Amino acid sequence: MALSRRLLPLLRRGGCLSASASPARALSMAAVPADADQEEAVTVKGVRISGRPLYMDMQATTPVDPRVLDAMLPFYLSRYGNPHSRTHLYGWESDAAVEEARARVASLVGADPREIFFTSGATECNNIAVKGVMRFYRDRRRHVITTQTEHKCVLDSCRYLQQEGFEVTYLPVRPDGLVDVAQLADAIRPDTGLVSVMAVNNEIGVVQPLEEIGRICREKGVPFHTDAAQALGKIPIDVNQMGIGLMSLSAHKIYGPKGVGALYLRRRPRIRVEPQMSGGGQERGIRSGTVPTPLVVGFGAACEIAAKEMDYDHRRATTLQKRLLDGIRGQVDDVVINGSMEHRYPGNLNLSFAYVEGESLLMGLKEVAVSSGSACTSASLEPSYVLRALGVEEDMAHTSIRFGIGRFTTEEEVDRATELTVHQVKKLRDMSPLYEMAKAGIDIKSIQWAQH
Amino acid sequence: MAAAAPTRAEVMSLFRSLLRTARQFSDYNIREYTCRRAADAFRENRALGDVPAAAAAFAYGKKQLEVAKRQAVVYSLYAPKAKSIMEMKMQ
């Protein structure tokens, strides 16, 4: 069906028309001039920036999609019933909405709706999965296998189990971030109760070989848990194809609301967990507590949108990541990508800039909202344990920056982020005596620093 | 009874409405996304010859327009005072 000639140039350009200013400016591509500059400047923590920074921290959280918000609002306004109220319309309609959302979440991962249990987020899911499974089978299963690059909540739960007397194997990863599947198979013992490997790493974006791991776990009869918070809606997940027994899902990483997640728990063969929340037995006794209808509806809507948009978003993220990487590498050298490039979710790019100090790089990038390799995990300046597990040197781990590209990221934002990063890196390298020495051919590692 | 395929005029009118609504979003990222996604979706579905598929795509588009109209209002009610850096003059 052909479209009007007037609109074709717009289609070809693929760009958008400018802001909500006067109609006369309708077809202009230039940004709206900020005449009230001074009033609109934002001053936070002593730093003054002219506007809200461009957001490139999608792994930390994502903006709520307007379609998700649209689905949620009626449940804050008129349909505010408790889904567990059985005696009136408010409860019935709320319950119907929750069940519809459950079906949507289930369909995105190839599961049955009865296998989905809503929780407060992926952290709670990880707690239920790790602690709940091991405690349920505590008589026969005493061993857990996980990796060194797991999210803090999994590692912390494992440490908690160790205090209770269980044994935990923390598998190392290769320098590209992938776990060695043969090593994992060797580590499985007769009393192994759980293997937990995250699907997509939040810091480096590496995608683990889920099918292989699932196959091995199925052969050996060990439940396979994966933290799929960063993977949901971004890479195709099929719990049956991948042999997944338990899975943690989070809403706020796929343009849904914060405060809700879901645990996938396999029914055939049935995997049992000991509930971590005692109460009225909601969610089939797995997780007591009123199910938050608006949040759950938002999660369902986000999953439905993700199912439709996965291919489009993935293609776009790949294009934008290439644009960002080529843009930065074309202008500065000694840039290292942390983690495998082949097995990667394109929306996550973790770069280390040699001879640049990380904190000062971040201070200079105040107009771009990005995260560094160390900030994620602790308030201290300790370098990220994920990068350390990759074998990244401490100085390189300190200078790592994680760029997150998402559904709403534009080409202009990527270009601006490139420009700002390159500018800051060059500025810092100009000031850096280490860089001068490296350029002169001196091997930094061979220097004997004098002690005063 | 199956829905009839939309006419060319109807499709163009829907596309124009979507772009017009997109322009009303106060948020830079949502505005750009709505425009771009609409343009890409219409371009992709341009070749849909299959009548039920075309009718379904058109109905979907109309629903998205309703959502966009409502959300443009909601976003403008809570628009932050400071605009995105992307909308400011180049420093």
* Tens-digit pLDDT string for chain A (452 aa): 444 455 555 554 445 654 443 334 444 444 544 444 445 677 777 778 888 999 999 999 999 999 999 999 999 999 999 999 999 999 999 999 999 999 999 999 999 999 999 999 999 999 999 999 999 999 999 999 999 999 999 999 999 999 999 999 999 999 999 999 999 999 999 999 999 999 999 999 999 999 999 999 999 999 999 999 999 999 999 999 999 999 999 999 999 999 999 999 999 999 999 999 899 999 999 999 999 999 999 999 999 999 999 999 999 999 999 999 999 999 999 999 999 999 999 999 999 999 888 788 888 898 899 988 654 444 566 778 899 999 998 888 888 899 999 999 999 999 999 999 999 999 999 988 888 888 888 877 777 777 76
CA dist A388 and A339 (Å) reads: 12
CB contact under 8 A, B87 and A19: yes
> Does A156 contact B at CB distance below 8 Å?
no
Residues within 8 A of B (CB atoms), A 387-446 only: 407-410, 412-413, 416
CB contact under 8 A, A53 and B85: yes
Q: Give the tens place of pLDDT for each residue, A386-420.
A: 999 999 988 888 888 999 999 999 999 999 999 99
**Which chain B residue lies closest to A4 (C-alpha atoms)?**
B12
CA dist A11 and B36 (Å) reads: 9
CA dist A99 and A283 (Å) reads: 11
CA dist A57 and A62 (Å) reads: 8
Active site residue A16: no
Helix and strand totals (H; E) in chain B = 3, 0
Other CB atoms within a 10 A radius of the CB of residue A391 amount to 12
ipTM of the complex: 0.94
Task: Give exposure, A246-280, as e/b (b: 16+ Cβ within 10 Å).
Answer: bbbbbbbbbbbbbbbbbbbbbeeeebebebbbeee
Q: Pairing state of beta strands A224-227 and A246-250?
A: parallel
> Does B17 contact A at CB distance below 8 Å?
no
Chain B residues touching residue A367 (CB < 8 angstroms) = 85
Q: What is the pTM of this model?
A: 0.90
CB contact under 8 A, A50 and B76: no
Residues within 8 A of A (CB atoms), B 18-77 only: 19, 22-26, 28-37, 39-40, 42-43, 46-48, 54, 64, 67-68, 70-71, 74-76
Nearest to A349 by CA among A218, A182, A200: A200
